[in-house]
Structure 1
Amino acid sequence: MLGEIAKAGRYLGQSVRLMMGLPDYDAYVSHRESTHPGEPYMTYEEFFRERQEARYGGAGKRGGCC
């Protein structure tokens, strides 16, 4: 029972982060390890910065819908 509550809490936390636009680093790492074993992957800071630039645009780029 307690394990199910903890699992529900993790899913809820992940859902809230995704709704707020925060990327899921753990999912990224799992994907990289399963599909690209032995290849390096970004640190959390690099991943976060790359996701923000992809969403909002980098230097001199305009992101978003308008």
Structure 2
Amino acid sequence: MREQIETLGRYLGQSLRLMVGLPDYQAYVAHMAEQHPDRPAMTYEEFFRERQEARYGGKVGRCC
């Protein structure tokens, strides 16, 4: 029962972060290690910048 509650908490936290636009770096690193072991993973800074550009199209910090 405790494990189920902890798992639910992790999924809830991940869902909330995705809803507000915060990328999940740990999930990305795990995916890269599992699916693409021959390719190096981006650093957190590179990952964050890439996610921002993907979401906002490179227009970060401006309204127009």
* Number of aligned positions between the proteins: 61
Q: Deviations over 1:23-43 (max 9, x none)?
A: 121221122112211321111
Runs of 5+ in structure 2 lacking a partner?
Answer: none
Structure 2 SS opposite 1:42: coil
Distance in 1 separating the partners of 2:45 and 2:2? 32
Q: Deviations over 1:1-55 (max 9, x none)?
A: 2211111110000010111111121221122112211321111121011100111
Indicate the percent of aligned positions where both proteins have the same amino acid: 70
Mean alpha-carbon deviation: is it higher for 31-40 or for 9-18?
Answer: 31-40
Deviation above 3 Å: which 4+ runs of structure 1? Answer: none
Matched, 1:19 2:19: yes
Match of 2:28 in 1: 28
Provide TM-score, normalisation by structure 2: 0.78
Distance in 2 separating the partners of 1:6 and 1:25? 19
> Structure 2: which amino acid aligns with 1:39?
R
